[in-house]
Chains A and B, each alone.
Chain A
Amino acid sequence: MARNAAFEVLYKDYYVRVFGLCRRLLNSSEMAEDAAQETFMRAYRNFRKYRPEQPFWAWIAAIANHHCIDLLRKQSRDPLFGEESTELAEIQAEGAPVVSSLIAGQQADKLHAAIGGLPARYRVPLVLAYFSQLSYDEIAVQLQISRNHVGVLLLRARQQLREALNQTEALT
């Protein structure tokens, strides 16, 4: 009973954050609701394995990450994160203005829209790096790709974001 009560409290405290993480990873509120519920179901089933010295957020975020990435993998016909060499070849030359200078004159929701518009292979590492604050090594383990590949995907994500914001800027 005490375990149930403790979990109920954690559920209420962390649901919104878990939902937010799932929504950013999956880019869909409906899917995020289901994913958040599934995340807490898995957490509940494995709650005995949770060690209180570990931050709960890190533990449950890892479960959410795993689940969302599994979902995206199931949706994708091709390897979700592509080939490192292909991505390397697509890296653009330097010189484009960075996101910070582009976002200065725009609304934050434009940035969110641009992130939402990214393909999953760029969006997922971006969210893991800057929302979940995982290191390149941790992201590499979660996505089952090399550390270098993570770096390449993050650079491509930034470049695509810059491009998208540039186009938005040009339209306005």
Chain B
Amino acid sequence: MSHLTDLQLTWLADAALVDGPDDAHAHAHLQDCPHCQQRLALLQEETQVLSTALQADDGLDQAVAIPPFRQPLTLRGFAFANLATGLVIWAAQFLWKTLFGELAVNVTAWFTSLYFPDFYAVLSAAALYYLEEGTAMFEAYFAFVVVSLLFLGLLWVVLKYRKTKAAAAGCLVVVFAGGLAPDLAQALELRQSDEVVTIAADETIDDTVLIAAETVLIEGTVTGDVVAVGRRIEMSGQVQGNLITFAETITVTGQVDGTALGGSSDYSLRGAVIAGDLWAAAEKVAIDEDSRVGRNATVAIESASVSGMVGADLYAFAETIEVNGALGRNLEVFAYRLRLLDDARVGGDVRFRTDNKDLLHRSPGAEIVGEVELMGLPDDFQERSRYATVEFYLWQAAWLVGAFVTGLIFLWLVPRCRELALGTGGAALKTVGIGFLGLITIPIGAILIALTVVGIPLSIITLAAWMLGVYLAKILVAAMLGRMLFVDSDAVVKNLLVGLAIVVVAINLPFVGGVISFLLTLVGLGLLLQYLFEALSSRQRDPDLVMD
């Protein structure tokens, strides 16, 4: 009689021989064959040993570190990532251009505007100035007020109804209302390399591009914005949006249809066409004779050479500036030395802040259509009383109106803030200390958070909240002062208006106004932060607590 094969016995050992035609025969043989029985027993034991050995964990529990789970990027996640990036770019552009850019330049212009001793002349000049050039400053200021109110509304939704989703939805509405929607229609392309990233001459990218590389070469066409960071950046192609660059060396020889904004050691335009504004912060900025900037150029630098054409104004904050090209309008110079060479042509005025007229060199061929004003002399500037200018009162009135409206809405939304009061002795010092800490540490923290890419949106939100807090600080103090003056009157409007009037006067007092303004900011910020801590901690203690 022939024994079962190893294959049959293995199948039997693994209990795999079931219902097959060979099954009955194999089992029948097995019953009468001690040899095969013994062999099967050994194989079954082998099966058991293999199962036990393979099932053993091998000490894996201790040896294997469980990595964090990487959730796959969903379409929704991708959309939100795009949305967040778009929001960051939009917010950065808005803050830079509207708040820091135009506001700073306009405030500077206001500070250096002409002084006429005759009151009526001052009044008419100020009105004309406001109509012609001053609107941007007020628009920027009221834009800030509007943004502050939007933030306040969101804060109120979060605090009162604990509706974080509603607040997020509100953010989206603000973003879309702010014109982000068209931007989002475009996708976002990311390119990163330790060496070179090239957008080839025959390449067209229909997206906004973010690039981080040692060397960035943009030879092709980008229909959206380009944000590039690297050691060397060369742009010889066409960017139909804005070009934002940060590198050691930046050379632009191509065409930018929007704004060019850059920070570097060496920023050069060679035969470049910038249709919008140019903002360049660099040790050395060079705009050659073949380059053209369509609108304003603002350069903050150690030395600048402008041989090309600037369509409107040139603002230069530099050690030395050399102009040998054509400017459509004014030349505003905050520099140690200004050289206007033979081919220089200024379509408007030259305003040079210096206390030494010899530091202005004007070649015989240099043409200035308007006037040359040597202004901003430190001594003259100190001597001139700012209280005698209409701009000063316009500005204070604008601040008062904005602060009053913002304060009323804030106190209406968060009525408990109407009752905020400064303690005595140690409590007051504690409030001031908290305000000081908040004033210093929050922006530092926000900047540190921004070092991580994912933290940039959080950083911008933190900075915006901090700016709002600083703005609200004096308003809160004003409300508190008004209430103290009218002995806890419930007339919020009267309290706030009178309080603000006191604050406006106090912070503009000669010599001590700055210190008072600083102290009021510390007090107000401290009160606000204490209120927020208390509100949040009471929510944690009692989640059902609804804040009023």
Given A11-B69, A155-B6: A126 and B50 within 8 A (CB)?
A: yes
Given A91-B7, A154-B14, A158-B10: A98 and B69 within 8 A (CB)?
A: no
Given A15-B64, A19-B64, A41-B70: A130 and B50 within 8 A (CB)?
A: yes
Cross-chain contact A20 with B53 (CB below 8 angstroms): no
Not counting A7-B69, A112-B58, A130-B54, a sample of 19 additional A-B residue pairs whose C-beta atoms are within 8 angstroms of each other reads A16-B61, A20-B58, A33-B67, A44-B71, A98-B46, A99-B46, A100-B45, A100-B48, A101-B42, A103-B53, A111-B49, A126-B54, A130-B51, A136-B16, A151-B11, A152-B7, A155-B10, A158-B46, A158-B50
Cross-chain contact A130 with B47 (CB below 8 angstroms): yes
Cross-chain contact A98 with B45 (CB below 8 angstroms): yes
CA distance A154 to B39 in the complex (A): 17
Given A44-B71, A108-B56, A155-B6: A15 and B16 within 8 A (CB)?
A: no
Looking at the assembled complex, report how far the CB atom of A121 sits from the nearest CB atom of chain B, in whole angstroms. 16
Given A99-B46, A130-B51, A130-B54: A37 and B10 within 8 A (CB)?
A: no
Asked if A51 is at the interface (CB within 8 A of a chain B CB), the reply is no
B72 contact from A41, A98, A115, Cβ within 8 A: A41
Closest to B51 in A: A130
Given A44-B72, A98-B42, A135-B16: A108 and B6 within 8 A (CB)?
A: no
Asked if B43 is at the interface (CB within 8 A of a chain A CB), the reply is yes
CA distance A8 to B68 in the complex (A): 9
Which residues of chain B in 1-56 are interfacial with respect to chain A, using CB atoms and an 8 Å cutoff? 5-7, 10-11, 14, 16, 39, 42-43, 45-51, 53-56
Cross-chain contact A111 with B53 (CB below 8 angstroms): yes
Asked if A131 is at the interface (CB within 8 A of a chain B CB), the reply is yes
Binding site for A on B (CB under 8 A): 5-7, 10-11, 14, 16, 39, 42-43, 45-51, 53-58, 60-61, 64, 66-67, 69-72
Q: Is the interface of B mostly helix, strand, loop or mixed?
A: helix
List B contacts of A108 (CB < 8 A).
Answer: 53, 56
- Which residue of B48, B66, B69, B71 has the most chain A CB atoms within 10 A of its CB atom? B69
Cross-chain contact A155 with B7 (CB below 8 angstroms): yes
Asked if A127 is at the interface (CB within 8 A of a chain B CB), the reply is yes
12 residue pairs A–B, Cβ–Cβ below 8 Å: A16-B57, A17-B57, A44-B72, A98-B43, A103-B49, A131-B55, A135-B16, A136-B11, A136-B14, A151-B7, A151-B16, A152-B7
Asked if A12 is at the interface (CB within 8 A of a chain B CB), the reply is yes
Q: Is the interface of A mostly helix, strand, loop or mixed?
A: helix
CA distance A20 to B61 in the complex (A): 10
List A contacts of B11 (CB < 8 A).
Answer: 136, 151
4 interchain residue pairs of minimum CB distance: A131-B54, A98-B46, A136-B16, A100-B45
Cross-chain contact B10 with A154 (CB below 8 angstroms): yes
Asked if A94 is at the interface (CB within 8 A of a chain B CB), the reply is yes
Contact with B along A135-172 (1 / 0, CB 8 A): 11000000000010001101100110000000000000
Asked if A45 is at the interface (CB within 8 A of a chain B CB), the reply is yes
Given A15-B66, A16-B64: A99 and B49 within 8 A (CB)?
A: yes
